[in-house]
Amino acid sequence: MEKSALSKVTRPSQRQDAARNRTRLIAAAREVFAEFGPDAPLEEVAARADVSRTTLYRNFASRQELAADIYERDVAKIEARSAKVRGDEHGIVDLFNFVLGMMMDDRSLFHVVLSPDMEWYQEHVSRMAAAFKPLVRSGKAAGIVREGATMEDFRIAFGMALAGMHRLSPAGNKQVKQRIRRLLKRSLFTNQD
């Protein structure tokens, strides 16, 4: 009887520890992926989360599974925003600002956009492109997206934003972020002064 009672007390605590470890691993992975890119050392993820590598692999069987978990939430937010602004002719400007803001707040997301050939980002890249395509089309039809601008131009613009932010601390310089946003919008959209 005592052992049974003890197990009941221990189990919730173990589940809380496991949930806390998973949360710490995801937060650490975002930092490490932002700093080192998609090939970041998993030892560094475990160290920053203050867990063992065994704990990391108990939660995520592979690097791909960890990355998928991190970016799934981000892609879902982008899809939701795209759906929300789909009827607005300025929806593409809204979505661009939204995604650029996400990327400026969490630089690890740039790697999904800038690594479209990486096999384990393919689904996320495809879903992000699907979120942008109808808005780019309607933006072109409304004369908001510059003539000749393509989906690849949007991807390149995000890459340029990363390059511009490279020297900034993670907190960043608000004025530099605003200048980057303004320059990129001028290159993609009409009347974006």
Report helix, strand or coil for 118: coil
Q: Assess if residue 91 is contained within a domain.
A: yes
Q: Quick check: is 193 in a domain?
A: no
What tokens appear for 128 in the block?
């992000």
Both 75 and 124 in one domain: the answer is yes
Looking up residue 56, the CATH number of its domain turns out to be 1.10.10
Query: Is residue 23 included in any domain, yes or no?
Result: yes
The residue type found at 45 is: V
Lookup: tokens for 136: 């780019």
Considering 10, 39, 60, which residue would you say is the last residue of a domain? 60
Range of the domain at 138: 65-188
Give the closest residue to 109 by CA, choosing from 68, 74, 82, 133: 74
Write the CA distances from 114 to 57, 76, 133, integer angstroms.
26, 18, 17
Of 69, 81, 94, 91, which is closest to residue 138 (Cα–Cα)? 91
The SS3 assignment for 40 reads coil
Last residue of a domain, which of 17, 43, 60?
Answer: 60
Angle value at C-alpha 149, between 128 and 93, nearest 5 degrees: 60
Residue 142 has a CB neighbour count (10 Å cut-off) of 14
Q: Which two tokens stand for residue 164?
A: 């511009």
Count of domains forming the chain: 2
Residues 128 and 46 occupy one common structural domain:
no
Residue 108, classed as helix, strand or coil, is: coil
pTM of the full predicted structure? 0.78
Domain boundary among 34, 60, 86: 60
What is the largest distance, in Å, between two alpha-carbon atoms of the chain? Answer: 76
Structural domain contains residue 171: yes
- Print pLDDT tens along the chain (193 aa): 455 554 455 555 668 888 899 999 999 998 888 777 767 889 999 999 999 999 999 999 888 888 888 888 889 999 999 999 999 999 999 999 999 998 887 777 776 666 656 666 778 888 988 999 999 999 999 999 999 999 889 989 988 888 887 666 655 678 888 889 999 999 999 986 5
